[in-house]
Chain A
Amino acid sequence: MNRPALAGAVAFLLASAVPCQAQNNGISMRGFADAGLTIFTASQSFKAILGSPAGAVFGGGVEVGLTRNLFLSVGASRFSRTGQRVFVFQNQVFKLNESDTITVTPFQLSVGYRFLGRRRARPTRPARFTPYAGGGVGWYRFSETSPHATNADEAKMTNAGYHVLAGAETPIRRWMAAAIDAQWAIVPNALGDSASSVARLYDEHDLGGFTLSVRIIVGR
């Protein structure tokens, strides 16, 4: 998914979020967009190619409140960065004169629990921070291309993984909230199959990583 398409999808989700006034006490729906930083588990490999094991990630999705505490979220994000292909000899990384673009697009399905405390008979002011935690599964689209790659050279694959998440949400408007979201994803056996993979050299096969993001939530 390219950047304009992703932005469009996020805008659509935000627009389709049910306004808080329209929600009843049953199933609710909110849209969210987030921006964050991912530190990949395959840190040496990403660092060799991109110069850093971390990079910005942008995404969005829909969160469905199943009960007062339980929610389900569907989201997509995107990491894309261009570095250089390399040769590694005795731990020295030689950057080659051939660019290399890595794109990782996770699609994630998560179930979470919001720690709201006891329901009170008389509505009071909402809690300043609402912590949540959860986990889920994901499908991670990975592509790698370089200017002189043939079809056989290009890497395009989708791998399944799982993740755990935790965060805290705070309202900033009547129908809008912000959250700090931390997520740990594991995508086993996604990297390092090919003889021309630096991940194989470093024995790093996990495409997952730790992502810390700021989330803007529309709806209630």
Chain B
Amino acid sequence: MFLSKSAGVLTVLTLAVGIVTAQDSTTRYRTFISDTTLPGVDTGMRDKDAPRPPRPYPADVITRSSGEAYLRGSIAVKFRPGTAPAAERLMVNRVGATTMEAPSYADFQIVNIDENADPEAAAAALARQPDVEYAQARYKIHPMFVPNDPLYSQQWNFPAIDMEHAWDLNPGATSSIVVAVLDSGVAYRNAVLRRDIPSWRDFFGSSLVTYPALGTVDIPFAAAPDLAGPNRFVAPRDFIWNDTDPLDLDGHGTHVAGTIGQLTNNGIGVAGMAFNVRIMPVKVIDSMWDDILGSPFEGTDDVVARGVHYAVDNGAKVLNMSIGRSGAPSPLLQEAIIYATSHGAFVAIAAGNDFERGNPTQWPAAYAPSIQGAVAVGATGRDRQRAYYSSTGPFVELVAPGGNQRTGGTTGGIIQQTYDFAFTDTFVFGPARYGPPRFDVFSYQFLQGTSMSTPHVAGFAALLMQQGITDPAAVEAAMEQFATDLGAPGVDQQYGHGLINPRASLRGLGLAK
């Protein structure tokens, strides 16, 4: 009835609100001039480096004092099934929409609004429309790591969960299991990117300074030597650059991927949980260099949700999400995770590192308890106590080693191979020492955070699937049933069901014992 009365108006609105039916997957925003470089350089342990500072958000992001951030100029919306396109346009027009896009790997749409409009208010107004399932601002997702302290070499995290005996039962799964790493990308291949690096402004200390343009430079990338191998990576996808080259311009995703599947028994470096799996790099988080180089997209809820859909649609059985945020809930992330688990994929989600910042509820971690097959993972230190940063709440379901360098010292972090940050984070020393990055120099870094505990659970899930538990809900149950209870007896808000116990879960049940 509404539509029939408004037919004439809708004709006009159809012209007023442009519709882009799908994001053009062929648009290239960058060009790699070579697929080969010299092999990556391994500079070994970086145990004397200063802690890596937190990164600021780019200018198109609205940041609240509480730390939550979201994009200006657009919101995400999902209409109820069967809603006519004309009615959709009418509704979005009421919140001042200019254009509407239907991105790939998404069952929602991106509505562009005025740059000066409040996205949260616009989303709330749109959500009140009768045919809208949900509408939300495009909240920024960030990696869940805590900058590290100086470090020493020691990999304590695997003995802490008895992995040596767990690997007897299942030696690292097999290549039939694909684990998607939804993160800042992965150092998965060699390449040279030729790019013009413009000048940009940012705070250095307390002063807003200009970093000079570097001109056209060739930026080398290399595959992480202790991670890459034949047929190791499958279906790479970059939702930040909208291409199939999810190269890590940060180092976070490479470190996380290492804990999941670092090559083991190869005579170099360190081990990974499920060292025979194939890794699917899915880039859904932008880093400082992505922003400097002008990436067309940023790591927001909708981008992450598309990454989840992509990973599941391309065969991933386990998804690692060492990412999250506080602030408002995200229905589209909730739906994406339900999509994953209902299609046979297990999802490990970082519980967050904000315990000492008011301990706000973390998203999408807080959805995990209500979704069988998705687990929110807290962090413990070497002392098997909750790490000081690890967020607590009813959403924490399990804990795994994430490191605690406050009580455990430098080596209390989780060591894995990633970039040598001295060659990537050239901006941290100010404009005077600023220069082009190199993403082909690697080192072994101790990092701490629920970002680091989550891949333990993702790797564990891969082992369980290889062991025969193919249903993600059953994988979660097997983890929780055999977890080592820590803290208050039973399930509690600090440790959930407790510390993962891979060997016990992989052994499962016998007749009598």
Contact = CB atoms under 8 A, between A and B. Distances in A.
Interface string A65-88: 000000000000000000011111
Interface stretch (B338-346, B424-432, B472-480): B472-480
Given A89-B477, A89-B478, A92-B474, A98 B512 contact: no
Contacts of B505: 87
Contact of A153 (B477, B506, B513): B513
B411 interface: no
A214 to B, nearest CB: 27
B513 A155 contact: yes
Contact of B511 (A87, A154, A197): A197
A148 B512 contact: no
Interface in A153-168: 153-155, 157
B168 interface: yes
Given A94-B470, A96-B467, A155 B478 contact: no
A199 interface: yes
A87 B477 CA distance: 9
Most B-side CB within 10 Å, residue of A94, A146, A148, A201: A94
A88 B474 CA distance: 8
B169 interface: yes
A94 B478 CA distance: 11
A194 B508 contact: no
Interface string A170-196: 000000000000000000001111101
A98 B169 contact: yes
Contacts of A190: 512
B466 A97 contact: yes
Contact of A144 (B165, B170, B469, B510): B510
A86 B513 contact: no
B509 A88 contact: yes
B511 A98 contact: no
Contacts, number: 105
B477 A197 contact: no
A89 B513 contact: no
Interface string B494-509: 0000000000111111
Nearest to A104: B511
Given A96-B507, A153-B507, A89 B512 contact: no
Most B-side CB within 10 Å, residue of A48, A89, A92: A89
A190 B511 CA distance: 11
B468 interface: yes
A26 to B, nearest CB: 45
A95 B165 CA distance: 20
Interface residues of B, number: 25
A132 interface: no
B88 interface: no
A34 interface: no
B471 interface: yes
B372 to A, nearest CB: 9
Given A98-B506, A148-B168, A191 B511 contact: yes
Contacts of A194: 510, 512-513
A199 B512 contact: yes
Given A96-B469, A97-B466, A86 B169 contact: no
A98 B470 contact: no
A85 B471 contact: no
Contacts of B482: 196
A11 B57 CA distance: 84
Contact of A148 (B169, B468, B509, B511): B169
Pairs A-B, 9 closest by C-beta atoms: A89-B474, A155-B513, A198-B509, A87-B508, A194-B513, A155-B512, A96-B508, A96-B468, A94-B469
Interface of B: 165, 168-170, 466-471, 473-474, 477-478, 482, 504-513
Interface of A: 42, 45-46, 48-49, 84-90, 92, 94-98, 100, 102, 142, 144, 146, 148, 150, 153-155, 157, 190-194, 196-199, 201
28 contacts: A42-B511, A46-B511, A48-B509, A84-B468, A86-B508, A86-B509, A87-B468, A87-B478, A87-B505, A88-B509, A89-B469, A89-B478, A90-B473, A94-B471, A94-B474, A97-B169, A100-B510, A100-B511, A144-B510, A148-B168, A148-B169, A153-B513, A154-B513, A155-B511, A155-B512, A190-B512, A197-B511, A197-B512
